Structure 1
Amino acid sequence: MNPSKILLMSAAIWLLAACVKNAETITPTSTNPDWTTESHSNDADPDYNVVFPQDKVNTLEIIMTKQTWQEIKTDMISVKGADFGAGGNQGGGPGGVNSTTEPKYVSVTMKFNNKTWNNVGFRLKGNSSLSSIWRSGIYKLPFRMQFDEFEDKYPEIKDQRFYGFKEVSMSPAFKDNSLIREKVTADIFRMAGIPAAQTSFYKVYINFGDGLKYCGVYTMIEAIEDNMLKAQFGEEKGNLYKPESTFQSFSQAQFEKKNNEDTADWSDIQAVITTLNASTRTSNPTQWRENLEKVFNMDHFIKWLAVNSTLVNWDTYGGMAHNHYLYNHSTKKLMWIPWDNNEALTSQTRVQLSLAGVANSWPLINYVANDPIYYVKYKAYVKDFNDNVFTTNKMNELFDKATNLITPYVNGTEKEEKPYSNLTNTASFTAALPVLKQHVVGRNQAVASFLK
């Protein structure tokens, strides 16, 4: 064969191979030149190392137009009853702090590691925290991002992902001068054997239409309904609920489904509530426990309760009827998943370590406290957690690592300053770490007294 033809054939084969390789990483239908399979498509596995690193602080940029920011403000007047920075009453009622209406999604541009994500769904999130920050005129607002929210309007972003993640939540550490509670509490739960969303620190810059503004350190939290179930439970087909219930009685409206929405079946959670409140609890406790454990993972709940009561996390079941999920595992039954931990590790408590005085309106806790078998198990889990996880050495190491990571971006080379920070001043951040460490010492002492 002619040598020139051999060269041409070799070049063609090489070019074809390069195109095939490129097709594996670039989505040709996308109009975004940054779009790759790994970074933007739904064909890649979630990359926890990139999105949720544990040894560095990532950087995000959110860009919106003045018109988009005005759209958010108009919507928030309807949802929360106040314009940005309006101050004043934060009471409940229509349009107030207790409004169940969620702010709407708007389209923004997101930049990360020199790559761009177009038409990302962005909405503010939260209840009392959002109302307070909003009325105070603080730009460090809690928000969520859903990467394919607007795929119907913009087909070129169909199934858009952020390194395998469809949705993430961004916590501004409201009421937390340490800025680390959301992050480390999730870590502590997992250290204790309680599945919890992965978290990581991010520096966030937001353009509200007038140029990028530094909005400080956020904690990114993975959405429970996204990859967390598969990653930590090994499956994701069971019903996932985000309850707003005390579990005294069943109301479908109080158990929002986060998956399987088209299947009108709430029988699993109905069975839990019926069995939990059955008369056999007092007439035949053995039968009651046996029946309950067929539909609800009581062992897991009791462990969560022991961990939650020891570290102190008041803004959840027992004080509030929210801030948790329930997942119906194929073999382990309905399991409790903690959520929204920014007010954990504080002195404020609604449930005593001994569980004494818990009202009948919180049956899941009240019945554990009053059942001798479950209460013994609860005390054993308190002891195990206190002795093996919630020690001063382990917690100091965890707190120091988190604080050292974010310090340069709070009061170092970059500073959190109002109106782009919820901190009173940077001195309040510096003072928060010793308070956290002392909290652990105090709780260790409380456990020792409780177990005497």
Structure 2
Amino acid sequence: MKKITITCFIALQLAFMYSCSSDSSSSDDSETLEDDSVEIVFDDTDFETTDWTEETHSKSADPDFDEVFEDEAVKRIDLVITEDRWNSMLEDMTSLYGTFGSRSNSSLNDSDEDPIFVPGEVFYNGIEWYRVGIRFKGNSSLQSSWSAGILKLSFKLDFDEFEDDYPQIDNQRFYGFKKLSLKNNYEDNSMLREKVAADVFRDAGLAMSHTAFYTVYVDHGDGPEYFGVYTLVEEVDDTVIDTQFSDNDGNLYKPDGDGASFAEGSYSEDDLVKKTNEDDADFTDVEELYAALNADNRTTDPEAWRAELESILDTDTFLKYLAVNTVIQNWDTYGRMTHNYYLYNNPDTERLSWIPWDNNEALQDGNGQGAVSIDFSDVSSSSWPLIGYLYADETYKAQYDEYVQETIDDYFSVSKMQSKYATYSSLIEPYATTEMDGYTFLSSSSDFQTAVSQLNSHVSERASIASSYLNK
């Protein structure tokens, strides 16, 4: 086997699309990664993890939610990436989505390929985390931001992604967290929606990611650059199932595609992406959900239909989610889009539980057809049977209505939400209104306060709509 030293970390992660200069131990000729016998050797493995402590870096530490996800704070995190590795990230984005700033987002690419990870350093409160896996993340939001020429892109951090290459970081964690997402608050001039929606779901007692506000600085060769206000989001397949369920051994799915609608005949394992137990080909649980949901006895024997469905799906959790999600409005999820939720087969109950995900588009009517009506009169039951079939059942409709009432009385009450908007907007305004051109979605600083005002009006409007619906 030939051994080469990679100095720019382009070739491996670009899946043989690029090559870079190398020093060969056996030849003066440059090597490319088209030869499967080439062994990749990093040239920056000689370092000491001098900041490492059990509390901050060790896998043995419990997740420190108070430190990482403090509600009423704006914290700073710095990403440091070498110039070569940063350029490889940009080259990869170009290969996936075209030229930066081309504004061709009218026809987004349908790519299943994630952007590349590169090793970089993370700094927080004067502490360093070493050779962290860093990549851009997102789908339409990532492509749209890129094509618009806005470098405020979302990031995914994996703290031991490169542990095989750097033994010093074996099982590295960030205060107990292996993976975290830094969301760029795309299409949200208030920069509050991702966090506030998560707060509401968590207040309702649903399994939900913790979130927090952070300012992000990136040094890719010329010193720290301010990338703006981000929302840090806990990863579902990391600590959410570890800490919000008593057992994390169940199947976790992140559905995406036609099969994620659960419409009859749409089942496809390719659309039911496993995030745990990936090597186990058993999809029995979701297959049974399709069958039970679309069973013929739904109308002929509703009691038997409900009993079978409830043996597979935690219907109570789903109905509570549905009520909260519909009251607050969230168009980029089930009922309009076949993505942005997880299903976890809780080993304690042996039932699939619904977990919301990706809420930057919540708390507004939205794009396209907009968010669904509170009575689902604009939802096709056959296309979205988890909504249509359950709402058509008198027992489930009554449960849904109870949760709508709870939502406007408690989790999403006007007084609670307007107080929350006041607190959070005061916190982030100095950081939001000083974002820089090319790293912001704001046209002017006044866009921020306008968006906050719209949120305050929105919660009042939704309370009125929900009350009218319930009093029919």
Same fold per superposition (TM over 0.5):
yes
SS of residue matched to 1:450: helix
Q: Does 1:131 align with 2:143?
A: yes
Residues 153-210 of structure 1: CA deviation (Å, up to 9, x unaligned): 1111111110100000011111101001101110011111212100011111012322
Measure how far apart 1:215 and its partner are. 1.0
Residues 236-273 of structure 1: CA deviation (Å, up to 9, x unaligned): 11111101111123211111111111222111111111
Query: Structure 2 matches for 1:26-425, cutoff 5 A?
Result: 31-80=48-97, 82-92=98-108, 96=109, 98-244=110-256, 245-248=260-263, 249-332=266-349, 333-348=351-366, 349-359=370-380, 360-411=382-433, 415-425=434-444
> Which residues of structure 1 form unaligned runs of 5+?
1-28
- Higher percent of residues as helix: 1
Measure how far apart 1:223 and its partner are. 0.4
Contact 2:250 2:347 in 1 (8 A): yes
CA distance in 2, matches of 1:383, 1:71: 51
Contact 1:396 1:437 in 2 (8 A): yes
CA distance in 2, matches of 1:272, 1:141: 36
Contact 2:331 2:365 in 1 (8 A): no
Contact 1:170 1:218 in 2 (8 A): yes
Among 444, 453, 456, the residue aligned to 1:434: 453
Structure 1 length as normaliser, TM-score?
A: 0.89
Which residue is equivalent to 2:33?
Answer: none
* Code of the aligned partner of 1:392: V
SS of residue matched to 1:49: helix
Residues 20-72 of structure 1: CA deviation (Å, up to 9, x unaligned): xxxxxxxxx98210011111111111111111111211111111122112211
Contact 2:254 2:341 in 1 (8 A): yes
* Code of the aligned partner of 1:154: Y
Which residue is equivalent to 2:6?
Answer: none
Measure how far apart 1:445 and its partner are. 0.7
Measure how far apart 1:89 and its partner are. 4.4
Aligned residues: 416
* Code of the aligned partner of 1:356: S
Q: What RMSD, in angstroms, separates the aligned Cα atoms of the two structures?
A: 1.4
Measure how far apart 1:235 and its partner are. 2.3
CA distance in 1, matches of 2:392, 2:219: 54
CA distance in 2, matches of 1:199, 1:89: 28
Contact 1:73 1:83 in 2 (8 A): no
SS of residue matched to 1:354: coil
* Code of the aligned partner of 2:423: K
* Code of the aligned partner of 2:362: A
CA distance in 1, matches of 2:157, 2:346: 27
CA distance in 1, matches of 2:456, 2:378: 28
Measure how far apart 1:417 and its partner are. 1.8
Contact 2:246 2:348 in 1 (8 A): no
Which residue is equivalent to 1:11?
Answer: none
Contact 1:74 1:83 in 2 (8 A): no
Q: Does 1:445 align with 2:461?
A: no
Measure how far apart 1:120 and its partner are. 0.7
CA distance in 1, matches of 2:402, 2:180: 35
Write out the 4+ residue segments of structure 1 that deviate beyond 4 Å after TM superposition. none
SS of residue matched to 1:295: coil
* Code of the aligned partner of 2:293: L
- CA shift in 2, pair 1:239/1:30, >3 Å: farther
* Code of the aligned partner of 2:158: Q
CA distance in 2, matches of 1:193, 1:55: 20
> Which residues of structure 2 form unaligned runs of 5+?
1-45
